[in-house]
Amino acid sequence: MFRERKIAIVYDWIDKWGGVERVLLTLHDVFPNADFYTSYYDSEKAPWAKDLKIKTSFIQKLPKFIKKNRILSFPLYSYAFESLDFKGYNLVISVTSSFAKAVITRPETRHVCYLLTPTRYLWLYPGEYVKNKIISGILAPYINKMKKWDMIVAQRPDKIISISQTVADRCKKYYNRESEVVYPPFDIKYWTKIKSKFQSLNLKSNPNFKSEIPEKYFLVVSRLEPYKKIDLIIKVFNKQNHVPSRIDRHQDGKTDSKHHLIIVGEGSEEKKLKEIAGENITFLSKLTDEELVYLYSKAEALIMPQEEDFGYVALEAQFFGCPVIAYNKGGASITVSEGKTGLFFHDQTVEELSKAIGKYNMVKYKLQRNTLEFGPKNVERFAKEKFVNEFKRVTRNL
């Protein structure tokens, strides 16, 4: 049935790699003949998309600083998506946290929106993106107009599917629309294959690991953006005396009460975060999945201080036996099982995160054993096959 339908998949921009991009590849598996539409495509930063049939808007030809400044370039982006032509398509699937839901389809074309979150810088964390109070004041009327536009275009899809109940609640609150929840896919077969491969590699000699990996370390895997609150973790690890710490003894007999942190990711805050980070904090990027598995398998725990829309990284960590210390709000409350695969903290403060790390140190051996046992089982709830079946069901019934 799907082979007979002409299908377009629309995404905000193709210029990075992360959990959402894994969703796009899964949709490509489900709809192999689909065309992919986007505002712009950076082939160097998104080599994973080389096999997709990608069509871009006029923004593709604009300078980089315009592409990246999406608040000031809002009118351009809104027009770019509204001007895309979907004549002849039976089904349009927009995957979006911003503009892609704004596409205009013909009456005979069904439009399904897979909502990652309502537009973050308009509804959730506007202050995180424009911190200068003078500029924020100047932009305030402009932001209000953008909110009105965003509310209007959110009514265009025939059906909205949210990636979690957290996002479904936001969709109702900000867009006044009901939505069905279909969790993003976790490809168990793929990660099992990677798990079997990485053990034979001498990953510590790989040049991507720019400095020696400490024997004991906590781990962050995240885009380095304001709402991810990576600065909170850095403040904790910069202030060792704020973390109730066990004294660990290395194989050479030396003791170490310092907590080491490895941060994996890139983003707009990378320079700022590196400037404030202490010497016990290492930044890595552009890692292969094998290298990432190595870090998960050796880490004390993964730390997630942000309110996640879903939290794909938490699933990766648990699958490889790495416990998760997470903020107990949003997607992590769904993907992490307290006491079995992780523990929670309830306020995004240095004090509360420090206490959570201290608590983890008191129970870490038990929690590590539990995560090795229950982590893979917990992840099965989000298996790729379930996503594929649910998405086919939803689109088939339109």
Domains of the chain and CATH, by start: 2-185+383-396 (3.40.50), 188-381 (3.40.50.2000)
* pTM reported for the whole predicted model: 0.89
Nearest to 19 by CA among 175, 183, 160, 134: 183
Spatial separation of the C-alpha atoms in residues 120 and 146, rounded to whole Å: 12
Nearest to 357 by CA among 256, 159, 219: 219
CB atoms within 10 A of CB 67: 19
* Token pair of 333 as six digits: 């409350």
Please report the pLDDT score of residue 230 as a whole number. Answer: 97
Q: Hey, is 124 helix, strand or coil?
A: helix
Spatial separation of the C-alpha atoms in residues 355 and 349, rounded to whole Å: 10
User: How many residues belong to the chain?
Assistant: 398
Please report the pLDDT score of residue 129 as a whole number. Answer: 54
Spatial separation of the C-alpha atoms in residues 324 and 186, rounded to whole Å: 17
Please report the pLDDT score of residue 240 as a whole number. Answer: 62
φ, ψ for residue 112, nearest 5 deg:
-110, 130
pLDDT tens digits in sequence order for the chain, 398 residues long: 555 789 999 999 999 998 899 999 999 999 999 999 999 999 999 999 999 999 999 999 999 989 988 888 999 999 999 999 999 999 999 999 999 999 999 999 999 999 999 999 899 876 655 554 545 566 677 888 999 999 999 999 999 999 999 999 999 999 999 999 999 999 999 999 998 876 655 555 555 554 568 889 999 999 999 999 999 999 999 986 444 444 444 444 443 456 899 999 999 899 999 999 999 999 999 888 989 999 999 999 999 999 999 999 999 999 999 999 999 999 999 999 999 999 999 999 999 999 999 999 999 999 999 999 999 999 999 999 999 999 999 988 78
If you ran DSSP here, which 8-state letter would residue 11 be given? E
Spatial separation of the C-alpha atoms in residues 131 and 112, rounded to whole Å: 34
The torsion angle over the Cα atoms of residues 382, 383, 384 and 390, rounded to 10 degrees, is -60
CA angle 259, 262, 268 (to 5 degrees): 130
